[in-house]
């Protein structure tokens, strides 16, 4: 397990961890979710209402899966794809996109953008890894225009479910095993499984969004209550 006591050390370890698993990260996601992560990204973007020529920030973009989905649904959109893990960005830059995004190395806690820059901020599987959740949400709100939108795809502390034993085997046994086989970094996937189980419940994240200044917060559960998609406005 990764300590939360030193934010700088935790950030460095997470950056290093994602750099190590970057080459197989997308493949592992597909196999772990049965490719449902593709559908979740599609639904997250579909829940937004982007104007033509919208400016969108994909925060914690990884190799650009969510960026690709934004551009697929809204081809006129201008996307900035930002991440603080350089190997992820480097892999993303080799991929083809409907419209080339602008790639940016950036920390979610101190975004290098002016107030009111974007029409929307999107992120997938980012927030449970940041050292200061409230600060990252405030930064999202800061860079959004008045009336801007956010879509967040994230793991959530699991809800009660009849298939909980099966779900627990999947999260704590199968995912670390599969991640270890594909990447050689079992510890990374043990961390990801445990961070998912201990992250905020979806209603708590909704409350955190409201506290950061967002309005019209709504969410929906996926995958036996282990995944949630949140949408909100500034």
Q: Would you state the pLDDT for residue 211?
A: 97
Q: Is residue 168 in some structural domain?
A: no
Which residue range is the domain that position 40 belongs to? 7-21+35-157+198-233
Residues 91-104 have pLDDT tens digits of 999 999 999 999 99
Band of residue 80 on the pLDDT scale cut at 50, 70, 90: very high
Q: Is residue 145 in some structural domain?
A: yes
Residue ranges of the binding site for S-adenosyl-L-methionine: 63, 83, 107-108
Residue ranges of the binding site: 63, 83, 107-108
pTM of the shown model: 0.86
User: Burial letters for 64-93: b for 16+ Cβ neighbours within 10 Å, e otherwise?
Assistant: bbbbbbbbeebeebbbbbbbbbebbbebbe
Q: Is residue 142 in some structural domain?
A: yes
Number of domains in the chain: 1
Assign residue 150 the CATH number of its domain.
Answer: 3.40.50.150
Q: Is residue 169 in some structural domain?
A: no
Q: Is residue 27 in some structural domain?
A: no
Q: Would you state the pLDDT for residue 167?
A: 66
Q: Is residue 229 in some structural domain?
A: yes
The answer to which of 47-51, 155-159, 180-184, 208-212 has the lowest mean pLDDT is 180-184
Residues 13-40 have pLDDT tens digits of 878 887 777 777 787 778 777 888 999 9
């Amino acid at each position: 397990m990764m300590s939360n006591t030193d934010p700088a050390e935790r950030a460095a370890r997470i950056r290093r961890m994602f750099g190590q698993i970057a080459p197989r990260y997308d493949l592992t996601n597909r196999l772990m979710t049965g490719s449902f992560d593709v559908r979740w990204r599609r639904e997250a973007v579909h829940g937004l209402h982007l104007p033509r020529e919208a400016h969108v920030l994909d925060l914690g973009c990884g190799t650009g899966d969510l960026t690709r989905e934004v551009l697929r649904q809204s081809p006129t959109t201008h996307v900035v794809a930002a991440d603080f893990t350089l190997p992820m960005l480097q892999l993303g830059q080799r991929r083809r996109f409907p419209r080339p995004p602008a790639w940016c190395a950036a920390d979610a806690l101190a975004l290098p953008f002016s107030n009111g820059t974007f029409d929307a901020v999107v992120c997938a599987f980012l927030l449970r890894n940041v050292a200061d959740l409230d600060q990252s949400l405030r930064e999202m709100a800061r860079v959004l225009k008045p009336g801007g939108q956010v879509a967040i795809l994230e793991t959530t502390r699991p809800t009660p479910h009849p298939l909980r034993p099966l779900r627990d085997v999947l999260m704590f046994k199968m995912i670390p095993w599969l991640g270890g086989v594909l990447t050689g970094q079992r510890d990374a996937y043990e961390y990801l499984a445990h961070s998912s189980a201990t992250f905020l419940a979806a209603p708590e994240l909704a409350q955190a969004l409201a506290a950061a200044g967002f309005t019209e917060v709504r969410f929906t559960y996926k995958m036996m209550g282990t995944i949630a998609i949140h949408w909100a406005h500034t």
